Structure 1
């Protein structure tokens, strides 16, 4: 730790915190729609939420939207006033811009409260404002985590100022609002607050000559009672009859290691993995370098978060990637837990801070370029909407492959922009009662009613619900849709589209908008042509087994 009373260094000033926070928003300034994988899908839901029934009554035939008290309403609530002031797209963009800013500011504030001053190594944590969960478009989660970090810093500050009673009063409503934003943020705040309170109580007991850890554990739990009220809300939410979804895939070690390595996943695999390597190099140096050390407070917080990450399954209540979301924040808290010892020279500290700043700016520049390129892709594909009438019934197919490539196209939920801009049907909406406010009710669409029916591949992919493009083109119900929007799909057999007329094509020829021509008959394709042999054989065996299980016919 630095000598008390020493002058502030450049990375410890308020001006630097403000500048660093502003730098984090740079990648999001240019794109009209933040290029986050799931965000367009959410924007489609916001459009249904905000559109009065008399303006688009057909939406009620396609979707059921019902407000309910769930721990996943952050932007769903904020978009109501923001859309009135700025319009839906700009309003969403402004809200999303605050997420990396809150994350970076929260990390620096926590470091300031715990160490007394911002350590130079804290700058290495700032690129995690654009972590993989944020890139994936888990925006309610990401917003709640940014808020949780800032609220944890406030929790620490009020304890440092001796305002523990006031803190207990203030954090009762604050914890409920954070839970309403997203349950995950509230849970992480509870873990961080408990670990910090445990250290504080132990130090108090130790100074009094009775520093037993069990007593500190109990007192820390009592100190966190003001954060517990959302547990009642959680019981009401998860015990409803409408709630569905399994909790599964425990202790998938291969996936957990992968989530750690993907904490910065964006576009260029080598660039992103090198960034992760920098993190682990800094964390390892903190163990070996005699000039730096780990804070007990944040070190315990990082260990607690790591334990939660290990214990969390991949799927919670039907929501996938539950454990993946926590991985970047385990790393971030571990990084800001590092601080210099008194033996560190000012020159050594300045070098560390400069390296951290260079790393932060380089990662931000890379993200800015990446987002600019994704925005160009959006502009190219969304030109198809100029040919689409308002209220059109559209089935959208977005091409991918079975390889799970590092760079996600960010086009996976672009279908929802047709819903957002043209009030057209989008078959990419999630339909999970209890997890989302919107569910698909367009029964005529059959298996093409909701996510992931929009994803198509060259062939059948193991352990995926995606459909081959040939199957999708042959089997989508013509009576349910008037248009087919193809977004960079793999090639398919032309005779599967004999009743479709092309009305728009992208400059590259990889995407097109097709209209169903009802004057021509739909292609008649046999199952043998569409399904793999193993599937047909399995189906035949199951049919034979069912026939054997039928009771014998009555004797005449």
Structure 2
């Protein structure tokens, strides 16, 4: 009988969960939730797609230049925007966006697995519990530039660890100058995370070589300084941008909510149960005599956690700054788990089976959730068949339950498909100086110029403030728009839509033509 293959670094048999074919299967499995939807139904993605259409066709469209302007600039928020330029012209915008977004989760999973292998010299079975964080709350909310930058950051971190272990420090320093610039232009937060990952890991490596913690920290900062060039790009960028506030420091109520939401998708009980399962794995590693944590990754997770506590909710006008970091704190902590001493095969197999089951169940639920959303949105987008090219569309969608619904508000920017497919005007674009490259020229829209004018709440939420249909419709400048699209909006007083002609409806939405 042939002996099972062994790990050359540890001398122990290789488990089925760390075979190359199985890890490749895990990477491919991460694509499954996004295969069916023609457009990934991520909350903010539709709004971004409106901007992509402008940047692709503003010079050739007879309509877009009337409503929008576009200027390129060196800002740290260009990941998908840059990729869309060649792929959008080659494949079409919607196909290009699907292909790019489809690649982000498998890249994230590959980064997780590579980091685990470099730290432990094998892939622990517990690493499987980290993989569903590729579909964490920030990704599902449609922060695609950020998610792309994080995927690149973890892949780059795996390379950093590999070169450090092989003492290729000079080569590493040379390579990480351009790598850091690429990650920065994908998204600033990803570059910041890469710097934290590399600094903390290098500090532990320096300490393991016999240096004190202070000296190790200084040396780690010097090694990580090769990634500092984007600091000067950021200074120039923010000097030219006068908008974008920074606020929400140490808001502990929100930080507690963000912890509960790290795997938020559709079903509250299921998402919380999934988080509890991850917490149970971490607790088991903490109290078990057969499991422990890698100091390298545990320290890295601690550094990321401190940054989560320090970061405000809004940075340079970009909201949910701290929330974006938290899923990767937990993922890194899970990746830190390993066997204490020699691997105990029965426990390893049990953890591998449980981890695989967690991955399959979690990704299966994401698949079902995204398919449901895709079908609902396909039914809503039939309204576009009744809207001519270049039309000016004001649309409203209701958030429901005063913003307390757990299921992600996937239609919050669906109306931007007016820009994507009809090259018209839609009142949902973000107009924030220095945050993106879009300019708004159509000022006749008044309060319906930009996001969040399209999002209302029920009238009984008045005590919580906000924007509701009964207040919004009387303020609609009818002479500035051709159509009004009430998408999943509550029933409205007929007097508010008096004189408007219904041209399409389904059981949830209605499209009016304005005269």
Give the TM interval when normalised to the shorter protein.
Answer: over 0.9
Measured in 2, the distance between the counterparts of 1:231 and 1:96 equals 27
Structure 1 residue 466 displacement after superposition:
4.1
1:52-71 to 2 correspondence within 5 Å? 52-53=58-59, 55-71=60-76
Structure 1 residue 60 displacement after superposition:
2.0
Q: Which residue of 2 aligns with 1:516?
A: 514
Q: Which residue of 1 aligns with 2:3?
A: none
Partner of 1:439: helix, strand, or coil? strand
Measured in 2, the distance between the counterparts of 1:203 and 1:441 equals 58
Rate the CA distance shift 1:433–1:266 in 2: closer, same or farther, 3 A: same
Asked if 2 retains the 8 angstrom alpha-carbon contact of 1:412 and 1:455, the reply is: yes
Asked if 1 retains the 8 angstrom alpha-carbon contact of 2:393 and 2:425, the reply is: yes
Measured in 2, the distance between the counterparts of 1:400 and 1:505 equals 19
> Cα deviations across residues 2-44 of structure 1 (Å, max 9, x unaligned)?
9822221111121111100100110100000101000000000
Asked if 2 retains the 8 angstrom alpha-carbon contact of 1:460 and 1:466, the reply is: no
Q: Which residue of 1 aligns with 2:4?
A: none
Partner of 2:503: helix, strand, or coil? strand
Is the counterpart of residue 8 in structure 1 residue 14 in structure 2? yes
Asked if 2 retains the 8 angstrom alpha-carbon contact of 1:56 and 1:423, the reply is: yes
Asked if 2 retains the 8 angstrom alpha-carbon contact of 1:244 and 1:432, the reply is: yes
Asked if 2 retains the 8 angstrom alpha-carbon contact of 1:453 and 1:466, the reply is: no
> Cα deviations across residues 113-167 of structure 1 (Å, max 9, x unaligned)?
0000001110000111100000100000000001100100000001112211001
Q: Which residue of 2 aligns with 1:158?
A: 163
Q: Which residue of 1 aligns with 2:106?
A: 101
Structure 1 residue 457 displacement after superposition:
2.2
Measured in 2, the distance between the counterparts of 1:197 and 1:489 equals 53
> Cα deviations across residues 396-427 of structure 1 (Å, max 9, x unaligned)?
11112214210023111011111100111110
Which of the numbers 187, 190, 197 marks the counterpart of 2:195? 190
Q: Which residue of 2 aligns with 1:379?
A: 378
Structure 1 residue 462 displacement after superposition:
5.9
Measured in 2, the distance between the counterparts of 1:202 and 1:423 equals 57
Structure 1 residue 504 displacement after superposition:
0.4
1:496-507 to 2 correspondence within 5 Å? 496-506=496-506
Aligned residues: 507
Q: Which segment is superposed worse, 57-66 or 348-357?
A: 57-66
Which of the numbers 24, 29, 40 marks the counterpart of 1:23? 29
Rate the CA distance shift 1:177–1:343 in 2: closer, same or farther, 3 A: closer
Is the counterpart of residue 111 in structure 1 residue 116 in structure 2? yes
Measured in 2, the distance between the counterparts of 1:4 and 1:77 equals 43
Structure 1 residue 344 displacement after superposition:
4.1
> Cα deviations across residues 351-388 of structure 1 (Å, max 9, x unaligned)?
10110000000001101111110011111100000011
Is the counterpart of residue 175 in structure 1 residue 180 in structure 2? yes
Rate the CA distance shift 1:404–1:439 in 2: closer, same or farther, 3 A: farther
Q: Which residue of 1 aligns with 2:132?
A: 127
Structure 1 residue 463 displacement after superposition:
8.7
Q: Which residue of 2 aligns with 1:230?
A: 230
Partner of 1:484: helix, strand, or coil? strand
Query: Looking at CA atoms only, which structure, 1 or 2, has the larger radius of gyration?
Result: 1
Asked if 2 retains the 8 angstrom alpha-carbon contact of 1:500 and 1:516, the reply is: yes
Measured in 2, the distance between the counterparts of 1:291 and 1:17 equals 24
Measured in 1, the distance between the counterparts of 2:343 and 2:71 equals 58
Asked if 1 retains the 8 angstrom alpha-carbon contact of 2:247 and 2:313, the reply is: yes
Structure 1 residue 460 displacement after superposition:
6.8
Measured in 2, the distance between the counterparts of 1:243 and 1:121 equals 46
1:70-469 to 2 correspondence within 5 Å? 70-204=75-209, 206=210, 211-240=211-240, 242-401=241-400, 402-459=402-459, 461=461, 466-469=466-469
Partner of 2:321: helix, strand, or coil? coil
Measured in 1, the distance between the counterparts of 2:83 and 2:460 equals 40
Measured in 2, the distance between the counterparts of 1:166 and 1:268 equals 47
Structure 1 residue 56 displacement after superposition:
2.0
Which of the numbers 52, 63, 77 marks the counterpart of 1:46? 52
Structure 1 residue 474 displacement after superposition:
1.7
Rate the CA distance shift 1:88–1:464 in 2: closer, same or farther, 3 A: farther
Partner of 1:265: helix, strand, or coil? coil
- In the superposition, the TM-score normalised over structure 2's length comes to 0.96
Partner of 1:394: helix, strand, or coil? strand
Partner of 2:504: helix, strand, or coil? strand
Asked if 1 retains the 8 angstrom alpha-carbon contact of 2:403 and 2:457, the reply is: no
Measured in 1, the distance between the counterparts of 2:157 and 2:371 equals 33
Asked if 2 retains the 8 angstrom alpha-carbon contact of 1:460 and 1:467, the reply is: no
Measured in 2, the distance between the counterparts of 1:213 and 1:498 equals 72
Q: Which segment is superposed worse, 424-433 or 434-443?
A: 434-443
Structure 1 residue 461 displacement after superposition:
4.2
